[in-house]
Chains A and B, each alone.
Chain A
């Protein structure tokens, strides 16, 4: 192959030999003009790397918006990007979920274009795509009004109608910083300084008269932003710090068709009708009362009877499956929390200590130390194992004010908690039984589809994982086999540090996902072997469920 020719590997196995500098759009056109018209963006994967889907990045963070990419990973590029090396090429159409993120990011640029045309004194922050749409942060002395949003949306329609191509440009970093400093673009100055290397070229995207520092990619032109809506306005502090200027964040959403946009709003409407806070009031199930405190739940008679049915089922099922039921105190001496390690690792999530007579007490955030005290209270032999202790235990955890959400994020709740003390050889059977139990819970309560995830550990990040390598290997090994043996797909991934044990999680999605809450889940964690638990050092490893 001569130096001016590159090999482009297409998904169907065909390899095109094209001159270096050929763009994905040109290749698409050579395959079929219809494909070229349908393509939104291209995915390139280095030929030597595996052609895997890239993990969806957390698109809301500035880091993923601007940071340099791993050169071996698949990446999305504009259809107009000249290809200069051998590569795998996939052309993403409007059906691809990743393409949706791209058009939403382009919609954010259209929004910023409209805002600058209407309010030229505005300074730009950042404007990423999100799971539900997009936003852009703006700084200006006078806040936007709801009427402004209507005007802005109308102007966006003009920008789309102009069908301006999104063009990638690059500028030496020094020149870019100079220009931003001159114009008082303090936020862009920050992003360029933070996310690009001195001496490098900085990429910009231009559509018509609008230019934005941006890594891309974008749809080919503003005309491809066909269905969008400006939704709302919120305040946000620059860099999340309340000492900084307050920015105005305009939210919107975008889809490839009006139909998809309409369906999105229909789903939101359905989710709003199903909002448990609304239904909780309408059906008189529960309340949360300002006088008593945020995040503390009152179960009314009608909610109370449902809870009784749920709890009866759970307790009966625990007994049937060989658990013993226990009850432990809600407050326990601070000394215990020091020994358990919660004082050190979990204090920020606990209510502050209270004094009584000569000792300090703390509300329990977890049931583990209580169950371990019961286990330790009498000598055990191997023949006693496994010991399975279960409790519907009330725990109290601090959540930041303003973060509470109905029954989903609270400061006091009831865990259907259990701890199984067993020999290393029994772990696998116990994990199998736990996963079977978890499935029984989901099926009984009407959840038919769910995924099982196994959180393991990252041996390269040793400092953030408690316990010895041997115990991790034992626990991961005994949890993986049963998790994989289930019919449901199991996705292993390192647990978020700090972590004390591998954890198998089943989660299921409901309309909650549409309302922006994280899906609920149940979990099973395997801690180091029970035989070594009656030392305080090992007790400390039972920190996190």
Chain B
């Protein structure tokens, strides 16, 4: 009989992963993969739409629709080491785009929502450690 345990203990392996990545998990493992930051209350409807599309693509999303300043919301997601933070206001809503902040790389400018989804899905399915 060959006996094997590869994680060893799932708990211990998780502890090791947390320290290995300093909590900044690769996209496929991150608890929240995408944080949504609508700039003001009038962008909440667009936030719902973005949220739905991302979820349909199998991504784990969290909207911050609190009545807080945009920068505070971005900071909170960043403190949670969220891989992608999508910010949007009038301009993005009109263009069907999102402004992308990537963990460790900062503001990447805006891109069409569909392009972001395609990129994120590819990174998840390849279990990439890059963002």
Which residues of A does B touch, CB under 8 Å? 271, 273-276, 279-280, 282-283, 285-286, 297, 301-303, 305-307, 309-311, 313-314, 368, 372, 392, 406-408, 410, 413-422, 427, 430-431, 434, 437-438, 441, 444-447, 501, 510-512, 515, 520-530, 533, 542, 545
**A520-B8, A522-B8 given as contacts; is B23 within 8 A of A283 (CB)?**
yes
What residues of chain A lie closer than 8 Å to B29, measured between beta carbons?
Answer: 306, 309-310, 445
Cβ of A310 and Cβ of B4 under 8 Å apart? no
List 18 interface pairs A-B (beta carbons < 8 Å), by A numbering.
A279-B23, A303-B31, A310-B7, A310-B29, A311-B10, A314-B6, A372-B1, A408-B12, A410-B9, A414-B10, A415-B10, A418-B5, A420-B4, A441-B6, A446-B20, A510-B20, A512-B19, A515-B19
Whether the pair B7, A522 counts as a contact (CB closer than 8 A) is yes
Most buried by A among B1, B2, B9, B28: B1
| B52 sits at the interface (CB 8 A) | no
Q: Which residue of B lies closest to A532 (CB)?
A: B1
Contact of B23 among A282, A309, A408 (CB under 8 A): A282
Enumerate chain A residues within 8 angstroms of B26, measured Cβ to Cβ: 446
Q: Is the CB of B7 within 8 A of A527?
A: no
Do residues B10 and A416 form an inter-chain contact, with CB atoms below 8 A? yes
9 pairs of A and B residues whose beta carbons are closest in the complex: A407-B15, A302-B31, A276-B18, A414-B10, A420-B2, A527-B1, A413-B9, A279-B23, A524-B4
Q: How far is the CB of B19 from chain A (nearest CB, A)?
A: 5
Contact A441 B18 (CB under 8 A): no
Query: Could you tell me the distance in whole angstroms from the C-beta of B117 to the nearest C-beta in chain A?
Result: 19
Contact of B3 among A407, A515, A521, A527 (CB under 8 A): A527
- Residue of B15, B18, B22 ringed by the most chain A CB atoms within 10 A: B15
* Residue of A whose beta carbon sits closest to that of B1: A527
Please determine whether A274 and B3 come into contact, CB atoms closer than 8 angstroms.
Answer: no
Task: Point out the residue from A280, A444, A511, A525 that lies within 8 Å of B2, measured CB to CB.
Answer: A525
Chain B neighbourhood of A529, CB < 8 A: 1
**Closest approach, in angstroms, between the C-beta of A52 and any C-beta of chain B?**
32
Closest-CB distance, A418 to chain B (whole angstroms)? 5
Instruction: Knowing that A302-B31, A445-B29, A447-B20 touch, tell me 10 more A-B residue pairs with CB under 8 angstroms.
Output: A274-B23, A276-B15, A279-B18, A410-B9, A510-B20, A512-B16, A520-B16, A522-B5, A523-B5, A524-B4
Choose among B18, B23, B81 the residue with the greatest number of A CB atoms under 10 Å from its CB.
Answer: B18
Pick the residue among B2, B15, B32, B129 that contacts A431 (CB under 8 A): B2
Q: Chain B residues near A521: list those with CB within 8 A.
A: 8
**CA A445 to CA B127, docked complex, whole Å:** 8
What B residues does A526 contact at CB under 8 A?
1-3
Given contacts A427-B2, A501-B3, A522-B6, contact A407 B23 (CB under 8 A): no
Q: Which parts of B1-51 form the interface with A (CB within 8 Å)?
A: 1-23, 25-26, 28-32
Q: Which of B5, B11, B15, B31 contacts A305 (CB 8 A)?
A: B31
Docked pose: A306 CA to B14 CA in angstroms: 8
In the assembled complex, B60 has its CB within 8 A of some CB on chain A:
yes
* Highest count of chain B CB atoms <10 Å: which of A280, A285, A520, A525: A520
CA distance in complex: A53, B131 (Å): 44
* A300 (CB) vs chain B CBs: closest residue: B31
Report how far A286 CA is from B2 CA in the complex, Å: 33
B2 and A274 contacting across the interface, CB-CB below 8 Å: no
Contact A417 B5, beta carbon cutoff 8 Å? yes
Contact call A406/B15, Cβ cutoff below 8 A: yes
Main secondary structure of the interface of B (DSSP, over half): mixed
Kindly state the separation between the CA atoms of A310 and B31 in the bound complex, as whole angstroms: 11
How big is the B interface, by class? 35 or more
Q: Is the CB of B23 within 8 A of A419?
A: no
Residues of chain A within 8 A (CB-CB) of B7 are 310, 314, 415-416, 441, 522
Q: Which residues of B from 77 to 106 have beta carbons under 8 Å from A? A: 79-81
Are B1 and A416 in touch, CB under 8 angstroms?
no
**Contact assessment for B19 and A511 in the assembled complex, using a CB-CB cutoff below 8 Å:** yes
Q: How far, in angstroms, from A274 to B79 measured CA to CA in the complex?
A: 14
Set of chain B residues within 8 Å of A282, measured between Cβ atoms = 23, 79
Residue from B3, B8, B19, B80 in contact with A525 in the complex, judged by beta carbons closer than 8 Å: B3
C-alpha gap A286/B3 in the complex (Å): 29
Task: Give the shortest distance, in Å, between B29 (CB) and chain A (any CB).
Answer: 6
* Complex Cα gap A515–B20 (Å): 12
Chain A nearest CB: distance from B88 CB in Å? 24
> Is the pair A530, B1 in contact by a Cβ cutoff of 8 Å?
yes
Query: Contact partner of B6 among A306, A419, A438, CB < 8 A?
Result: A438
Complex CA–CA separation, A534 to B6 (angstroms): 26
A418 CB contacts on chain B under 8 angstroms: 3-5
A445, B17: Cβ atoms under 8 Å? Answer: yes
Chain A: CB-nearest residue to B21: A446
A511 to B17, CA, bound (A): 10
Q: How far is the CA of A297 from the CA of B80 in the complex (A)?
A: 21
How far is B7's CA from A297's CA once the two chains are assembled, in angstroms? Answer: 17
Cβ-closest chain B residue relative to A515: B19
* Minimal beta-carbon separation of B94 from chain A (angstroms): 33
Residue of B nearest to A427 (CB): B2
With A437-B6, A445-B17 as contacts: A413 and B11 at CB distance below 8 Å: yes
Given contacts A276-B18, A282-B23, contact A523 B8 (CB under 8 A): yes
Question: Which chain A residues lie closer than 8 Å to B6 at the CB level?
Answer: 314, 416, 437-438, 441, 522
Is the beta-carbon distance between A307 and B5 smaller than 8 angstroms? no
Contacts of B16 in A (CB 8 A): 276, 408, 510, 512, 520
Are B25 and A306 in contact, with the CB atoms below 8 A? yes
Contact present for A415 and B8 (CB under 8 Å)? yes
> Please, how many angstroms separate the alpha-carbon atoms of A285 and B6 in the complex?
22
Q: Is the CB of B19 within 8 A of A276?
A: yes
Contact yes or no, A310 B14, CB < 8 A: yes
- Nearest Cβ on chain A to B30's Cβ, whole angstroms: 8
Q: How far is the CA of A413 from the CA of B5 in the complex (A)?
A: 13
**CB distance B22 to A273 under 8 Å?**
yes
- The closest CB in chain B to the CB of A510 belongs to B20
Residue among A306, A441, A515, A525 with most chain B CB within 10 A: A306
Is A285 touching B31 in the complex (CB atoms < 8 A)?
yes
The answer to whether B22 and A279 have CB atoms under 8 Å apart is: yes
